[in-house]
Chains A and B, each alone.
Chain A
Amino acid sequence: NAGVTQTPKFRILKIGQSMTLQCTQDMNHNYMYWYRQDPGMGLKLIYYSVGAGITDKGEVPNGYNVSRSTTEDFPLRLELAAPSQTSVYFCASSYPDSTSGGASTDYEQYFGPGTRLTVT
């Protein structure tokens, strides 16, 4: 089990460029999330998905797009990168398809290693 994997680990973008951050999980989790973490700050939810084909906005969705065509993959697209998008991006997943009936342990989020993005 690789858990949650993210690529790339680091990336430098110029203002106005676009890119896709990849996220894959092999735990058969229904829920997947994208967060950003600015220095000294907590995690802010960008987008989340409760299953293939279903996505919804989080707290800070502007400037980002997502898709969820499979259970395993949840890519995050940045269009027209801006310096304000400089951050560390974490993907996470939770809630396996076969659950223990809604116990809180089902909702533990497993995080990927993160992508450090700089926009200059």
Chain B
Amino acid sequence: QKEVEQNSGPLSVPEGAIASLNCTYSDRGSQSFFWYRQYSGKSPELIMFIYSNGDKEDGRFTAQLNKASQYVSLLIRDSQPSDSATYLCAVTPSGGYQKVTFGTGTKLQVIP
């Protein structure tokens, strides 16, 4: 079982719709959870982090964490063509923050 799993996509949504991206992780003791956005040919950039169960909202983005079920999701409301990118889920393991494990990413396409 992979440590951090994401559906590779592509996930296609129409402009203005809600995009829902999901991530599951295997280490039950994982402490912090990050969503990075990566445009084609560019380096990843952080868009959200969450470490407590529940929802965390930042503008059009909402991160949701359920530690009991070991999943974290990212919702993008009012999706824009500029949101088209690959979204990487990242998890810090139990025992320390030094190492972060990344998922393979979900490619999102927002159709105008």
Per-residue 0/1 for B83-107: is the Cβ within 8 Å of any A Cβ (1 yes, 0 no)? 0000010101000011111111100
Per-residue 0/1 for B22-56: is the Cβ within 8 Å of any A Cβ (1 yes, 0 no)? 00000000001010000000111110011100000
B49 touches A108 (CB 8 A): yes
Q: Is B8 positioned at the interface, with any CB of A under 8 Å from its CB?
A: yes
- In the complex, the chain A residue whose C-beta lies closest to that of B92 is A107
B49 touches A42 (CB 8 A): no
A111 cross-chain contacts in B, Cβ below 8 A: 43-45
A56 cross-chain contacts in B, Cβ below 8 A: 98
A112 touches B43 (CB 8 A): yes
A81-117, CB < 8 A from B: 90, 95, 104-109, 111-114
Per-residue 0/1 for A1-45: is the Cβ within 8 Å of any B Cβ (1 yes, 0 no)? 000000000000000000000000000000101010000111111
B32 touches A42 (CB 8 A): no
Chain A's nearest CB lies how many Å from the CB of B79? 22
A40 cross-chain contacts in B, Cβ below 8 A: 8, 104
A104 touches B32 (CB 8 A): yes
Interface-centre pick from A43, A45, A56 (highest chain B CB count, 10 A): A43
Known contacts A42-B103, A95-B97, A114-B43; A108 and B34 CB within 8 A of each other: yes
A107 touches B32 (CB 8 A): yes
B100 cross-chain contacts in A, Cβ below 8 A: 33, 45, 107, 109
Q: Is A48 positioned at the interface, with any CB of B under 8 Å from its CB?
A: yes
B105 touches A42 (CB 8 A): yes
A43 touches B32 (CB 8 A): no
- Per the bound structure, the CA–CA distance linking A35 and B104 in Å amounts to 13
- 3 closest cross-chain pairs (CB), A and B: A111-B43, A42-B104, A43-B102
What are 10 A-B contacts with C-beta separation under 8 Å?
A: A40-B104, A41-B104, A43-B102, A90-B43, A90-B44, A95-B97, A107-B32, A107-B49, A111-B45, A114-B42
Residues of B within 8 A of A (CB): 4, 6, 8, 32, 34, 42-46, 49-51, 88, 90, 92, 97-105
Residues of A within 8 A of B (CB): 31, 33, 35, 40-45, 48, 50, 56, 58, 90, 95, 104-109, 111-114
